[in-house]
Structure 1
């Protein structure tokens, strides 16, 4: 396939571009500076600027753009940035794709299990109701920005990613550092459910959504979520380090502000759509997830 990818410089984007090219796909990346290579295309999503003529033929598109939700404290300004960065990039990319001579077969738009809010111990599938907090509202508008593509006949898959497990970057990168220092342990009371996915499974799932007939929301999480205590215990065992130093909820709120609510939220999410379509996970449970993290 000939695939255009936005957000290619981010954590997932860098790995996904390499993965897709390694699988034999041709990948164009959208950049916000002057293009330096033939496989780069310049765009400016904040201004809604992307020339469809620069894209040529496009079989599929992946939209990963958006400010990191955990990169800064959630001031009112940064919350506006979290939302606008997603809406601007999605609407700009969709608009350009629909102005091509022939629309692409598929758009895989990044999303998040933040769609469900705090679900307690309830098992959450793609059919579960949306939450009512800030991130759930962001996800609703973000996914809604893809509707013109669906209306035009493009197959749209919404990749609701869980807690990305990777040795560098993201929440797990920080957890690994603490555990290796012997300072790891449960976050908050540890009873909240966490739904991780390893980077290899994340990349394979994105390619699966590009190439298989999946439409609408798809949860990208391992099939067997676990409580935070179970996960941190498994991580300590995999690293041969103790997992006894808890991070109290009040300390997380002092350190992270409003974003701490997402760390302490309980989301017992299962990837029903991927499983129903035959996707196979390399790391289906927290033992496999933490074992891969320790070896990676």
Structure 2
């Protein structure tokens, strides 16, 4: 059992809500940044502490681990100029506030895990992408680059910094799957566009385990791909989802409709995709519980 302390931003969200119980079981004392402090405490049976502002943290207060999961959902709304600014602010401003805390902290954290996404790599077709691959000039790539650049300032403070490039996180109580399930349940699901675009997915349980693995593996630093080792194309994913639900999955959603409805967001997130390989996680000895998309979806939807 650990007696270490952990600060988490975005702790009440889709990933944090699953991560925090695991860290509590490991003995961590957890503080969560939340605008709804009491509600967040109740969410975790009052087993955590909460703060409403990073600026309120004293330089004398120490956290062994800091995990930055804050950020407005990138696929929640069409990318207007206003939404693009909100997406940037919700990620980069919080990260800058954390760096400011690190700078004034008498004792620095031993590890800083900051969120990022596979969108970092941009629009690369079916090219296999590892942590060594570069991005492009697409909005999602530039957003992730700037987000990681803000977090990278922790390295100058001798803090082990890791940038978790998360893919499509699968579980039925949130994330992308909740948006996919309704049409598939009614037999109206199917591939998007050509169906050839790759989906770099990961079961939420594996992502939570990977975060714990990163905390405990001192040799890991820099970008780390938070994806399963077996990305699949959209057509294969749609077929697997239909099979898990015992529903047909052959009705395609034309690409031009997605572009019309969602603009650049539809193009970058739904029609292009990335084929991302978690090279660092695998080489560091991390073992996935779910490497097969059929097994992952069956486990999720049989609950």
What TM-score comes out, normalization by structure 1 length?
Answer: 0.93
Question: 1:52 touches 1:97 (CA, 8 Å); kept in 2?
Answer: no
Residue 251 of structure 1 pairs with residue 257 of structure 2: yes
Q: Over aligned residue pairs, what C-alpha RMSD do you find? A: 1.7
Cα distance change on mapping 1:238 and 1:33 into 2, 3 Å = closer
Aligned partner of 1:85 in structure 2 is: 90
Residue 40 of structure 1 pairs with residue 49 of structure 2: yes
Choose the corresponding residue for 2:8, options 5, 8, 16: 5
Deviation at 1:38, TM superposition (A): 8.2
Q: Could you tell me how far apart the structure 2 residues matched to 1:197 and 1:124 are?
A: 15
Question: 1:44 touches 1:50 (CA, 8 Å); kept in 2?
Answer: yes
Question: 2:33 touches 2:53 (CA, 8 Å); kept in 1?
Answer: no
Aligned partner of 1:23 in structure 2 is: 26
Q: Deviations over 1:43-74 (max 9, x none)?
A: 346xxx23235x83211100011111111221
Deviation at 1:257, TM superposition (A): 2.6
Aligned partner of 2:80 in structure 1 is: 75
Aligned residues: 292
Aligned partner of 2:135 in structure 1 is: 130
Q: Deviations over 1:96-116 (max 9, x none)?
A: 133222101000001000000
Aligned partner of 2:146 in structure 1 is: 141
Cα distance change on mapping 1:156 and 1:237 into 2, 3 Å = same
Cα distance change on mapping 1:92 and 1:50 into 2, 3 Å = farther
Choose the corresponding residue for 1:107, options 105, 112, 119: 112
Q: Could you tell me how far apart the structure 1 residues matched to 2:165 and 2:58 are?
A: 27
Q: Could you tell me how far apart the structure 1 residues matched to 2:91 and 2:223 are?
A: 17
Residue 155 of structure 1 pairs with residue 160 of structure 2: yes
Aligned partner of 2:214 in structure 1 is: 209
Cα distance change on mapping 1:40 and 1:229 into 2, 3 Å = same
Residue 266 of structure 1 pairs with residue 266 of structure 2: no
Aligned partner of 1:60 in structure 2 is: 65
Unaligned runs of 5+ in 2: none
What TM-score comes out, normalization by structure 2 length?
Answer: 0.91
Question: 2:31 touches 2:51 (CA, 8 Å); kept in 1?
Answer: no
Aligned partner of 1:94 in structure 2 is: 99
Q: Deviations over 1:155-198 (max 9, x none)?
A: 00110000111112222111122211111111111001111001
Q: Deviations over 1:204-231 (max 9, x none)?
A: 1111111112100000111011110011
Q: Could you tell me how far apart the structure 2 residues matched to 1:290 and 1:256 are?
A: 26
Q: Could you tell me how far apart the structure 2 residues matched to 1:215 and 1:50 are?
A: 28
Deviation at 1:130, TM superposition (A): 1.1
Cα distance change on mapping 1:220 and 1:38 into 2, 3 Å = closer
